[in-house]
Structure 1
Amino acid sequence: MKQAKVFLSHFLIAIGTISACIGAFSWLGGSGYSTKNQIIVGICILFIGVVYAWFQMRPSKSIQILINDSFPLQVEFGDLFEKKGVVVISVNEYFDTIVDNKIIATETIHGKFIDRLFKGRIPELDNKIRKALNNVIAEDASNRVIGKKKRYPLGTCAVIEEGENTYILTALTKFDANNHASIPLSEYGAIIQRIILTAATVANSRPVYIPLLGSGQGGIQKSAQKILSYMISQIEFCPDVSIPKGLHIVVYDSGNKNVNLDNIKSAWLSTVK
């Protein structure tokens, strides 16, 4: 019903604009139309109105939201691993590097990051992570059977360089004794704040790309649309830092049927009026 009203609104705007132009032309000296010509013109107006309304109703592929004056926030569909600049990668609290569909699933961002960028180079990745976390106090987990033996606080960021990009590996998920991942909602906002602070430090004149946090395996048990809305609301309350080239939330293309960016922007605008 809401979409029908929006479509009708766009349709009437187009009809009104075209009709006004034709009326002005006639008033300025255009000759009267025959009945046949009036019908043809009427059909053309209706056709153009429908096309315009349909065009306006197409789902947006990206939107921009003005969170504050420090950085623009862009939400877009795409592939995180095709972006150039500073890229945030969500990982587990151990910063594991074993992609076996037990510790790390191949279809998660964590798994794709390792397989796409460091396949066959795991020791090199481990060394980069170890250096990045050298000054971070970790909890001993020596009784863990598989995987790394140090547990880091959620929100811990390991900044590593690879190729043209800077990657911020961020501890997002906790593991239980059976390696089942979960995200404590109470810590979600603090995690995002730490990511933003870290990104602002390393971004310089580069854009920052961040995935939809919490929508994957073991994530927040809500729809992608609700998670995106919640994520934006948390970003709003982040410290006043500067990211001149903007923060981009990248929603993976294959999941875009569950996310409507126009609804996200409309909801945001309604809250800031």
Structure 2
Amino acid sequence: MDEVLPQKMSLWLKCLISVSILMAVWCLCFLVASLTFIGKKRFKVLTVNNGHAVYLQYGNIFSPNEVLDSGKRRNIVIPVNRCFDVHVDNRIVSAQTLHGIALQRLYASGKYSEESLITKIQQLLSRVGYENVSRKDKPEGRCRRYPPGTVAVLPGNENVYYFFWALSTFDANMTASTTMQEFTIAVQKLIEACYEKSAGFPVVMPLVGTGLSRTKTDQQDVLKYLVNAFRLNRAEISCDIHIVVWEDIKEEIAISNI
């Protein structure tokens, strides 16, 4: 600093200016780092021995950009009711839910009709037990109710496979809900399905219960539970797992400190 500051300036003033400059540089670096951290949308929360990882991120599960290589197959988890209903009418299946959005995409592709999709699901689940629900207990829709966590893998278009994941149960008033016990069982079965049916390609799953699936548990707690479930089953992870929180609610749910 001697070459820059006047020689007649007192030593204490030179020190004060030097410290001020260092503080300004530190604050600038801190600001840049903070903005970078705040703008970050994907966090790796778990790495397993085979090189795969579990990520938390903000985004849209239907976007190909949610995975590291958008040109390859990706598996999208879609929470559905345990009867695997296929009719989008905003009563049985709402067009605004992930279930409804996925069904509309499948129908729009021309790959399935409602009838052919029912046939395909029944073929995929032919070895899975189910109960026949009476019209008194479920007035509308399909009556085959499968166990919580049952997964049917449906090929879509453009390298997309849908993991229809049985989660919610309709009551006699056609209100869907999921108990914590059912949710726990369903998560474990989903982890097993990812291991057995992902073919090593990434799995993209939503944070359930954020207005697109119905659970009564706080979403931050659900997020922690999901991460811990994968952590406990790390030996069963055979692909990258991307847990996605909708971009629209990122102000409500933190993913950086899980």
Confirm or deny that 1:111 pairs with 2:88: no
Cα distance, 1:39 vs. partner?
Answer: 7.9
Cα distance, 1:50 vs. partner?
Answer: 2.8
Distance 1:72 1:218, change over 3 A: closer
Q: Corresponding residue for 1:5?
A: none
Distance 1:217 1:209, change over 3 A: closer
Length-normalised TM-score, structure 2: 0.80
Distance in 1 of aligned mates of 2:167 and 2:230? 16
Confirm or deny that 1:147 pairs with 2:141: yes
Distance in 2 of aligned mates of 1:128 and 1:45? 67
Deviations 1:164-197 (A, max 9, x none): 1221111011111111111110132221111111
Confirm or deny that 1:187 pairs with 2:182: yes
Q: Is the 8 A contact 2:139 2:172 kept in 1?
A: no
Q: Corresponding residue for 2:128?
A: 136
Cα distance, 1:239 vs. partner?
Answer: 6.5
Q: Is the 8 A contact 2:191 2:237 kept in 1?
A: no
Aligned 1:12-23 pairs, distance under 5 A? none
Confirm or deny that 1:33 pairs with 2:13: no
Structure 1, unaligned stretches of length 5 or more?
1-25, 265-273
Structure 2, unaligned stretches of length 5 or more?
65-72
Deviations 1:60-108 (A, max 9, x none): 3111112643541111111111235111111001100122221112221
Cα distance, 1:159 vs. partner?
Answer: 1.2
Q: Which segment is superposed worse, 63-72 or 172-181? A: 63-72
Q: Which segment is superposed worse, 90-99 or 124-133? A: 124-133
User: Greater helix percent: which structure?
Assistant: 1
Paired-residue identity, %: 27
Q: Corresponding residue for 1:249?
A: 243
Length-normalised TM-score, structure 1: 0.76
Distance in 2 of aligned mates of 1:217 and 1:167? 16
Deviations 1:16-45 (A, max 9, x none): xxxxxxxxxx6xxx7463369988766654
Q: Is the 8 A contact 1:182 1:219 kept in 2?
A: yes
Aligned residues: 235
Q: Which residue of the other structure, out of 197, 202, 207, is the alignment partner of 1:212?
A: 207
Distance in 2 of aligned mates of 1:55 and 1:206? 35
